[in-house]
Chains A and B, each alone.
Chain A
Amino acid sequence: MLENSLFGILALFLLGGSLGMIFFTQTLFSAISFMFAMLALAGMFALLENSFLFLAQIMVSVGAVVVLSMLVIVSVNLKASNLPHESAKGRWIIFSALLVTPLAMLIYKALAHTHTLFEKTDEGYGSLKMMGATLFSDWVLPFEIVSVLLLAAMVGAIMIGRKEKRHDT
């Protein structure tokens, strides 16, 4: 019972946050809605008894991503005059919603009815210990590759974000 109502509230926040994100004109409002959605998602992970993911989601998705994007939004100094004029936003959203519907139906059809109920989990499910055990035994190679990926992304971000130096002599 508790779980169901928790689920309901979190779902509401999730959906509301994401809808808000795409509807708000002001960028900062969109970012804040997105943050709420990410928090709600973290809660979802908690509901799934996955403590590690709950933490990871808050740390990365909220703490890094949202904060970083807010930083950039603010540093770019988006005023009302700078914002893009999205006059046909509503029409576009409705049109693309129509186009997305079949895809969504297909995805749901593929996913649903695989299992009907959640089962009881073991003790230690979702703990850091179990996560570490799986990560460093079966998933070592992807782990290493992702670390290389992060390195590359770091280098790339620095390269792209650099100020151009003008060579005047």
Chain B
Amino acid sequence: MTPDNFFLLATLLFSIGLIGVVSRRNLFVVYMSIELMLSAINLVLATFSRLHGDMHGSVMVLLIIAVIAAEAALFLAMVVHLYRLKRTVDSDDFNTLAQTKEEI
């Protein structure tokens, strides 16, 4: 249990979260991947807080958790709204801003 281990773990979590955001079409999975990324950052901050011996890092974690909560509310409200519009949670179905060939 060395700090390097924690950092390695956090890096892996962050990457997995990033992969999830990019690869998956399901909006919920995208949301959870974003949360995962934020949680990885939390882990890094907590580790540094432990290393420095004071609570500054932890305070930051707390604030980030608050932001996570806010973001949860908003993201899920949007998903509900979009579902009402199009009856789907596939992110690929929301492409009205695409450039079609005729518009060149």
Contacts and interface: CB of A to CB of B under 8 A. Distances in A.
Contact of B43 (A21, A41, A103, A143): A41
B28 A53 contact: no
Interface residues of B, number: 75
Given A72-B76, A113-B4, A161-B80, A134 B24 contact: no
B35 A61 contact: yes
Given A22-B19, A108-B7, A118-B51, A30 B73 contact: no
Please report whether the interface of chain B is mostly helix, strand, loop or mixed according to DSSP: helix
Given A18-B17, A108-B11, A69 B1 contact: no
A96 B23 contact: yes
A146 B90 contact: no
B23 A150 contact: no
Interface in B1-27: 1-20, 22-26
Given A7-B1, A56-B65, A60-B69, A27 B15 contact: no
B15 to A, nearest CB: 4
A119 B36 contact: no
**Main secondary structure on chain A at its contact with chain B?**
helix
Given A48-B47, A56-B65, 9 more contacts: A15-B12, A72-B76, A82-B87, A84-B91, A86-B26, A104-B14, A134-B54, A156-B77, A157-B77
Interface of B: 1-20, 22-26, 28-29, 31-33, 35-36, 39, 42-44, 46-47, 49-51, 53-56, 58-59, 61-63, 65-74, 76-81, 83-84, 87-93
26 contacts: A4-B1, A11-B5, A15-B16, A18-B17, A21-B20, A48-B6, A48-B49, A50-B50, A69-B31, A72-B79, A89-B23, A93-B23, A96-B19, A96-B23, A103-B18, A111-B10, A112-B4, A115-B3, A134-B55, A135-B55, A135-B59, A139-B59, A153-B74, A156-B77, A160-B77, A160-B78
The 9 A-B residue pairs with the shortest CB-CB distance in the complex, in nearest-first order: A153-B70, A84-B90, A161-B77, A92-B23, A157-B73, A134-B55, A22-B20, A157-B77, A111-B7
